[in-house]
Chains A and B, each alone.
Chain A
Amino acid sequence: MIGIRDLSKEFDHQSLFKGLNLNIVKGSVVAIIGPSGSGKSTLLRCMNGLEVFSRGSVSVNGLKLYGVLERDYNRGQESIIIKNIRRKVGMVFQQFHLFPHMSVLHNITVAPIHVLGVQRAEAETDAISLLMKVHLEEKAKKYPGQLSGGEQQRVAIARALVMKPEAMLFDEPTSSLDPEMIAEVLQVIKELVSEGMTTVIATHEIAFARDVSTHVVFLDKGEIVEQGSPQAIFFNPQNDRTKAFLSRFMK
């Protein structure tokens, strides 16, 4: 469903990705692990046009974005491609980025109403059912500032789901949460995965990655050092860098 070919990107004049390749199959759950600064977030952001890259391509369901040095389309076309990709891929950020001036319900309905032209009543019904899914239906009238971090992140998930994406990208969804709230967010993601949503998750939660993912990618310094099934990566890592990284989590 998502294919990354020969991805190259410079960051602060230093090359981050040097021809990275990754294939994400429909229905799979891909966990991207690796130390901070390894490029996990940037890789996710390249998949929905939030980051530009210099060479290579990212394709989502046949919609293809090229590196800026290899473009053979004009900017107008590019923005249409990006727009269409974003319709198919939802994203959840480490910092939630809920809209603080809108109620929880409004956060979820704003895009359907103004982007898709859905009637308010219908959008609100949808939103409530999504809130039930993330176990927050009683918070519909609250504002983001009145919620805990875990609750905010669950609202952010509901907000992304309301656009009915075909895949979800999670960018370290639990990294800025207090430990007691991590479980509730992971639980929601787990439920989502069990419904067959194509999922890419950049995470430090090794145990979670092991339990839910179908494919694990170990990224270090912008390079895919090793990838494979969770079984293979976590219990039988081949590369020394993978071993060193995992040894810090598995004692």
Chain B
Amino acid sequence: MIMKYRIFIILGMLLQIFISSEYLPKSDAFAYQDTLEKIKSSGVITWGFDAEGGAPYVFHDPARPAKLIGFEVEIVEAIARELGVKVQFFQNAWDSILLSLRRGDFDIALNGIEITPERAQTALFTRPYYTYTEQIVVRASDNRINRLEDLHGKKVGTLYNTEAKRLLEEMGDVAVSIYSGQVEPFKDLSLNRIDAVLVDVPIAAYYAMPNPQLRMVGPPVGEGYYGIALRKEDAALAEELNKIIEKLLRSGELKKIYRRWGLWNSSQEKLFFHEGLLQKYTESPPSVSETTPVGVARFLPTLFKGALVTIGISLLSMMLAITLGLVLAIMRLYGNKWLQMVSTAYIEIYRGTPLLIQLYILYYGLPNIGISLSAFGAAILGLGMNYAAYEAEIYRAGIQAIHKGQTEAALLLGMSRRLTLKRIILPQALRIAIPPMTNDFIALFKDSSLVSVIAITELTKSYGILAAASMDFFKLGIITALLYFGMSYPLSWYARKWEKKLTSHDRNS
């Protein structure tokens, strides 16, 4: 479910894998203590979650931002009360929550974590505490879609690494837009950029129900369970937590919490009969050797597709950056006072603000004033306009490095300013600018991964999705890194060749 996009986290996870328990002599190296005993003796249970994932799970109270609220906060507090301990909050990026759990950063991970066979391999799950279903949300004015089957051939938004996404992909002919945040798919839905959203019921209930422009349609589809994730060896803790969940169910306290958040439905009755629910996961857990080798090869087409998107976006935005950058540089160097001011302001603002914010404003902010760009358009515009600021400064430096005698000689030959710039100054400035431009292009190429925040599935996002699904961050990571390198190296190689060709005549200058 919930996921905030963070490439750094994913890259960090690669590192984590190296240093995590798998490659180190495990817990016994650090005088292992049973987690349940530790919780009881210290009087504190440490809970890992991601508040950025958002409502209604765990989030900052808009009225008092220092306070965390959400139905999961209430569940954890009830559990702590039953254990007779206090809760210590541990904020952790959702993407890496199970890895941090395994590393020992916290005792339990409880944050809308769907129990899946893949996850059951790396973590121990308690009995489910919530039955989620997937909910279709459409625009209130749209009555074409009434059930899951109606989604065929439509553009449907969903969240990264969720059961809903898997469900949509199994349908085959659905154009799936994958989002990292929960707010964005609903935003794009109201802006007509997509036809429907399919997400876990709690998210739909919280975001779509109060919005008069949207409506939930059809019966709930799919069904799965949220469980509390523990470290594999914490069987004693699992047993204790299972008892507490049972108690909270029987006493009706869980029902009360879910009611309060509008999350109670008939599916929750199944929580009482949990024994049979998880059988399908325990009967034949797919072994690592079975999934991984087949898996990696199977993922290649998706990665290649992501790589193509990366190339397309990078090339188009670099073309924009070069053109706009040149215009800005010329405005700044040769324009009148006003043009100079405009150019300087542009450069300073674009260099002084994060690309991510610029992308958000372009894609999600502009619709507020009536301009709605496609995701691809916003990505190219965002990257291109941002890099134009850097290119402008590179060209300016390049142009200023040309001796003023060159301009004078050209002017005295009767050339106009324009002709002088085109024939004499720019070709020479270009030579100076090639190395920093190459640098920038490679940087842009890698920065293109940021556009995944606006629902574009390029290479890094494809990697994140595949890696989170298969938990194989290592091999997929190496493959993805190789793909990036394979695309950027020819670029620097060509740039070097080009530069060499241009400078081959300068023996003594």
Contact = CB atoms under 8 A, between A and B. Distances in A.
B409 A99 contact: yes
B83 interface: no
A48 B412 contact: yes
9 contacts: A93-B405, A100-B505, A101-B427, A101-B431, A101-B505, A110-B423, A115-B413, A116-B414, A146-B507
Nearest to B406: A97
Interface in A117-150: 143-146
Band of interface residues on A: 20 to 34
Contact of B506 (A83, A100, A115): A100
Interface residues of B, number: 23
A28 interface: no
A99 B507 CA distance: 14
B415 A111 contact: yes
B432 to A, nearest CB: 11
B505 A87 contact: no
Nearest to A162: B413
B509 to A, nearest CB: 4
Nearest to A143: B505
A146 B414 contact: no
Contacts of B240: none
Contacts of B414: 83, 86-87, 111, 115-116, 163
A93 B409 contact: yes
Contacts of A91: 412
Nearest to A116: B414
B239 interface: no
Contacts of A160: 412-413
A144 B413 contact: no
A248 interface: no
Contact of A159 (B413, B419, B423, B508): B413
Across the A-B interface, the 3 shortest Cβ-Cβ residue pairs: A143-B505, A111-B413, A97-B405
A50 B415 contact: no
Contact of B428 (A101, A111, A156): A101
B260 interface: no
B169 interface: no
Interface string B472-509: 00000000000000000000000000000010011111
Contacts, number: 71
A18 to B, nearest CB: 26
Nearest to A45: B408
Nearest to B408: A50
Task: Summarize B's interface: helix, strand, loop or mixed.
Answer: helix
Interface string B410-421: 111111000100
Contact of B505 (A97, A111, A146): A146
Contacts of A115: 413-415, 419
Contacts of A214: none
A100 B506 CA distance: 7
A103 B423 CA distance: 13
A229 interface: no
B144 interface: no
Contact of A99 (B406, B412, B419, B431): B406
Contacts of A146: 505, 507
Contacts of B409: 93, 97-99, 156, 159
Interface string B30-55: 00000000000000000000000000
B405 A50 contact: no
Interface string A51-91: 00000000000000000000000000000000100110011
Interface in A93-115: 93, 95, 97-101, 103, 110-111, 114-115
Contacts of A99: 406, 409-410, 424, 428
Interface in B200-232: none
B64 interface: no
A149 to B, nearest CB: 9
A145 B506 CA distance: 5
A152 to B, nearest CB: 10
Interface of B: 403, 405-406, 408-415, 419, 423-424, 427-428, 431, 502, 505-509
A122 B70 CA distance: 83
A143 B424 CA distance: 14
B408 A97 contact: yes
A43 B502 CA distance: 37
A41 to B, nearest CB: 12
Given A111-B414, A114-B419, A101 B507 contact: no
Nearest to A98: B409
Contacts of B403: 95, 97
Contacts of B507: 143, 145-146
Interface in A14-69: 48, 50
A114 B415 CA distance: 8
A145 B423 contact: no
Nearest to A106: B423
Most chain A beta carbons < 10 A, residue from B409, B424, B428, B502 = B409
B408 A145 contact: no
Nearest to A144: B509
Nearest to B413: A111
Interface string A173-187: 000000000000000
Nearest to A156: B409
Given A100-B506, A146-B507, A86 B424 contact: no
Contact of B405 (A86, A90, A95): A95
Contacts of A114: 415, 419, 423
Contacts of B505: 100-101, 103, 143-146
A83 B508 CA distance: 33
A212 B428 CA distance: 38
B398 to A, nearest CB: 13
Contacts of A100: 428, 505-506, 509
A97 B507 CA distance: 16
A146 B504 CA distance: 10
A143 B410 CA distance: 17
A114 B414 CA distance: 9
B412 to A, nearest CB: 5
A12 to B, nearest CB: 17
Contacts of A111: 410, 413-415
A163 B423 CA distance: 17
A87 B416 CA distance: 12
A88 to B, nearest CB: 10
A115 B431 CA distance: 25
A163 B406 contact: no
Contacts of B419: 114-115
Contacts of A163: 413-414
Contacts of B415: 111, 114-115
A251 B410 CA distance: 41
Nearest to A48: B412
Most chain A beta carbons < 10 A, residue from B406, B414, B506 = B414
A102 to B, nearest CB: 8
A95 B405 CA distance: 8
